[in-house]
């Protein structure tokens, strides 16, 4: 399969159906192609196992007959189907049974009904849109959230659209009612972006153009005389399957990197109960490296190919199902595993739902009527649009050289690049200073006073948006009970975080006023500090030191820090911490505490003890970054060791598979969502006051 990675993914995706579903797969008596007639047409449902057509000598691909035969043997189609736009259009337009697509539509709609109340924020509607000073992070300047009651109507429209998709009722209108609010909510808040939310929006949009309501739909049941043909053009399947093909393949390609294959992205997953069978053969570190990282990379990059090839499909299907079921236990990723599971049957025969019901025949006349002898101009235009969409999806995940302003430690915004689980962050400290320039006063602001999101701490565009939102809230005097601040202000962010087990380091220059900081989506952001990759060689050493410190006792810990030349780390050590030590790993620093007048020059290998309950200043000097570590023991937790043991015992009694508890939580969340919708409607119709929840702030 590694040999297939270099093949054009679009060319391979053109073969997303098995031989048993080929409409024009009969053996012909001579090498000349004949137009299908009413009596000669055989559908996939009438003849599921067909004989491959003898290749026409004139249609042998340029690569040679051997490659063509291998391609046909693997995917069940002749390369001549893709030799011209006309042949490819005919291939896409061929009629196939719409039963499998109808079942996928039903399952996707059901998943979206759950997703709206969960990851779309329906259960927390009042918190997200009920507070007038809540900050949003839209993709396009000028986008604004509607008033809370109107946002309730937006969610109601999306919810009704999901019902219509699931039931197959007024399908086109239902798809529009779902995807328009969905994309509005999605584009309104970049911190909520993730790859599967992007996938849901794409699939909902693609379904709009298909005939997915041709089977298992309320519309066909209510109006059987007006119901659509049971066959649909193959491109209805092709679009959906291509989108999932890109999902898997690009997720694998993004994992084929030193960052992922070194095993730093996802640590300690081996402790989860789903890996219990592997712990009988491998130690935890090998499970994290071989199973979590190496196998996942191979799985993602190859599974779509294996599912496309008929001879390997049944063999890899159990791996496909197990993979997504395990993900549903390992991560909080909403409906993503279930939507992927709903898509798996699309790789099998088009009529499998009818076979289960014992109804597999399709009228030959109906199929013949849908089989054009020559594709029309409209059909060719549709094919060009499909190819354009495919090219766009193949290009976007690698388009970050254009949108340079969104690049920071990673390329582009998280959510459309299919770099799933490749990067994990640990944010140590976030501070915001609002400086009143007229009065020369500095005010420390709670970083999460106006948002519950954290992703703005990693991306320069969101940092600028948040700073301007803070300024707007201050100027509009929407923050009551706080100190009086003038109109001439500056805002500075000092954010420390670590990516994939690296040192804690700053993400932005703390000396830059973000209200005046330049930012463009097409230019590199100068005040966004780069990732200190020159210190990557120390990552194995960091793991060794961490294991040694953690072995001291149950409440000892270590923090690894790296800083840029000329910058100072201001660190207040809590009185709860004892045995605090600063040790220099690389570079040179100047250390000083608030109670001492003298400063100390420390070089690599030097250590110094630190007092608790005071502020310490560590300034990096020289021409290169400095790296150092803090070790400490939590005195409070050490004194409460008995209570901690009781908590550990309680955690060990938690069920491994808390399905009922999760079900109850989802039901309660859904009740909250419906209450929010009802409150919004009562306010708009009868002016009934809306009870609002107060968001808890740190």
CATH numbers and ranges of domains, the chain: 96-357+374-398 (no CATH), 424-531 (no CATH), 538-643 (2.60.120.10)
Q: Among 9-18, 131-140, 255-264, 464-473, whose mean pLDDT is lowest?
A: 9-18
Catalytic residue among 47, 255, 374, 458: 255
Q: CA-CA distances (angstroms) from residue 592 to 570, 610, 623, 624, 633? A: 10, 10, 20, 20, 21
Instruction: Tell me what pLDDT residue 590 has.
Output: 96
CA distance 606 to 585: 8
Q: Measure the CA–CA gap between 472 and 246, rounded to whole angstroms.
A: 41
- Residue 635: is its pLDDT beyond 70? yes
pLDDT digits (tens, 9 = 90+) for 91-106: 999 999 999 999 999 9
Most confident segment among 125-134, 478-487, 649-658 = 125-134
The pLDDT value recorded for residue 666 is: 93
Q: Using one digit for the tens of pLDDT, what is the confidence trace for 344-379?
A: 999 999 999 988 877 655 444 444 444 556 889 999
pLDDT given at position 372: 52
Distance of CA 220 to the CA centre of its chain: 35
> Given this model, what pLDDT does residue 644 score?
54
Tell me, what's the pLDDT at 695? 62
pLDDT of amino acid 416: 85
Token output for 394 = 């193949």
More confident residue, 427 or 6: 427
Q: What is the rounded average pLDDT of the residues 48-70?
A: 51
Question: Residues with Cβ < 8 Å from 338, sequence gap 6 or more?
Answer: 107, 111, 324, 328
Average pLDDT of the chain, as a whole number: 85
DSSP letter for 528, please.
Answer: B
Instruction: Look at residue 149 in the predicted model and tell me its pLDDT.
Output: 96
Characterize 61-86 residue by residue with b for buried, 16 or more Cβ atoms within 10 angstroms of its Cβ, and e for exposed: beeeeeebbebbebbbbbbbbbeeee
Give the pLDDT confidence score for residue 31 in this predicted structure.
37
Q: How confident is the model at residue 652 (pLDDT cuts 50, 70, 90)?
A: low
% of the chain exceeding 70 in pLDDT: 83
The verdict on whether 255 is a catalytic residue reads yes
Residue for token digits 């219990």? 276
What band does 26 get if pLDDT is binned at 50, 70 and 90? very low
The whole-model pTM stands at 0.86
Tokens representing 315?
A: 């063999």
- The distance in angstroms from the start CA to the end CA of the chain is 50
Contact 622, 587 (CB under 8 A): yes
pLDDT tops 70 at residue 475: yes
Q: How confident is the model at residue 486 (pLDDT cuts 50, 70, 90)?
A: confident
Paired tokens of 161: 């659209």
| Segment (H or E) for 231 | strand 231-233
585 Cβ contact list (under 8 Å, min separation 6): 538, 560, 604, 627, 628, 629
Q: What percent of the chain has pLDDT over 90?
A: 67
Per-residue pLDDT at 389: 97
Q: How confident is the model at residue 60 (pLDDT cuts 50, 70, 90)?
A: very low
| pLDDT of 269 over the 80 cut | yes
């Amino acid at each position: 399969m590694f040999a297939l990675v270099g093949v054009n993914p679009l060319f391979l995706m053109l073969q997303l159906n098995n031989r048993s579903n080929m409409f024009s797969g009969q053996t012909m008596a001579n090498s000349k192609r004949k137009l299908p007639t009413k009596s000669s047409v055989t559908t996939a449902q009438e003849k599921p196992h067909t004989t491959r057509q003898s290749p026409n000598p004139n249609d042998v691909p340029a690569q040679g007959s051997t490659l063509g035969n291998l391609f046909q043997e693997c995917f069940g189609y002749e390369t001549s189907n893709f030799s011209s736009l006309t042949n490819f259009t005919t291939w896409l337009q061929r009629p196939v049974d719409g039963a499998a697509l109808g079942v996928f539509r039903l399952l996707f709609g059901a998943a979206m009904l759950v997703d709206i109340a969960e990851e779309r924020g329906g259960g927390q509607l009042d918190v997200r849109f009920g507070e007038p000073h809540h900050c949003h992070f839209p993709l396009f300047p000028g986008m604004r959230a509607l008033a809370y009651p109107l946002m309730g109507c937006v969610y109601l429209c999306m919810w009704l659209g999901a019902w219509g998709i699931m039931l197959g009722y007024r399908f086109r209108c239902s798809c529009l009612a779902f995807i328009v609010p969905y994309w509005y909510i999605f584009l309104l808040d970049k911190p909520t972006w993730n790859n599967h939310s992007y996938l849901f929006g794409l699939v909902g949009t693609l379904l709009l153009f298909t005939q997915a309501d041709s089977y298992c739909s309320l519309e066909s049941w209510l109006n059987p005389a007006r119901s659509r043909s049971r066959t649909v053009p193959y491109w209805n399947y092709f679009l959906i399957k291509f989108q999932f093909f890109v999902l898997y393949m690009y997720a694998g390609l993004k994992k084929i990197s030193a960052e992922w294959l070194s095993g730093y992205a996802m640590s300690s997953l081996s402790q989860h109960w789903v890996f219990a069978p592997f712990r009988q053969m491998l130690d935890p570190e090998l499970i994290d490296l071989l199973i979590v990282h190496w196998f996942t990379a191979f799985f993602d990059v190859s599974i779509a190919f294996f599912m496309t090839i008929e001879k390997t499909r049944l063999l890899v299907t159990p791996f496909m199902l197990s993979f997504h079921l395990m993900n549903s236990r390992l991560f909080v990723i909403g409906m993503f595993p279930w939507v992927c599971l709903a898509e798996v049957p699309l790789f099998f025969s088009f009529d499998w739902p009818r076979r289960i019901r014992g109804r597999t025949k399709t009228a030959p006349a109906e199929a013949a009527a849908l089989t054009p002898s020559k594709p029309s101009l409209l059909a060719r235009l549709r094919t060009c649009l499909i190819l354009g969409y495919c090219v766009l999806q193949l290009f976007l995940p690698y388009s970050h050289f254009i949108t340079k302003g969104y690049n920071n430690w990673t390329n582009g915004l998280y959510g459309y690049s299919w770099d799933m689980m490749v990067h994990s962050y640990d944010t140590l400290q976030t501070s915001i200073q609002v400086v009143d320039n007229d009065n020369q006063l500095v005010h420390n602001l709670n970083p999460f006073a106006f948002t519950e999101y954290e992703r703005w701490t990693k991306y320069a565009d969101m940092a600028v948006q948040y700073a301007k939102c803070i300024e707007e809230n201050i100027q509009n005097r929407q923050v009551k009970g706080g100190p009086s601040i003038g109109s001439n202000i500056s805002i500075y962010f000092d954010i420390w975080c670590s990516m994939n087990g690296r040192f804690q380091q700053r993400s932005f220059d703390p000396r830059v006023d973000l209200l005046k900081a330049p930012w463009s989506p097409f230019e590199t952001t100068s005040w966004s500090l780069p990732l200190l990759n020159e210190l990557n060689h120390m990552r194995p050493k960091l793991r060794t030191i961490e294991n040694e410190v953690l072995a001291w006792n149950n409440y000892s810990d270590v923090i690894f820090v790296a800083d840029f030349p000329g910058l100072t780390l201001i660190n207040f050590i809590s009185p709860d911490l004892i045995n605090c030590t600063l040790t220099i790993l690389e570079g040179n620093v100047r250390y000083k505490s608030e109670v001492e007048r003298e400063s100390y020059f420390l070089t690599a290998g030097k250590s110094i003890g630190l007092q608790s309950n005071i502020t310490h200043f560590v300034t990096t000097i020289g021409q290169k970054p400095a790296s150092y570590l803090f070790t400490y023991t939590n005195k409070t937790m050490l004194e409460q060791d008995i209570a901690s043991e009781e908590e550990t015992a309680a955690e060990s009694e938690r069920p491994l598979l808390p399905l009922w508890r999760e079900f109850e939580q989802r039901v309660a969340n859904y009740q909250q969502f419906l209450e929010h919708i009802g409150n919004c409607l009562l306010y708009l119709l009868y002016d009934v006051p809306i009870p609002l929840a107060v968001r808890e702030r740190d």
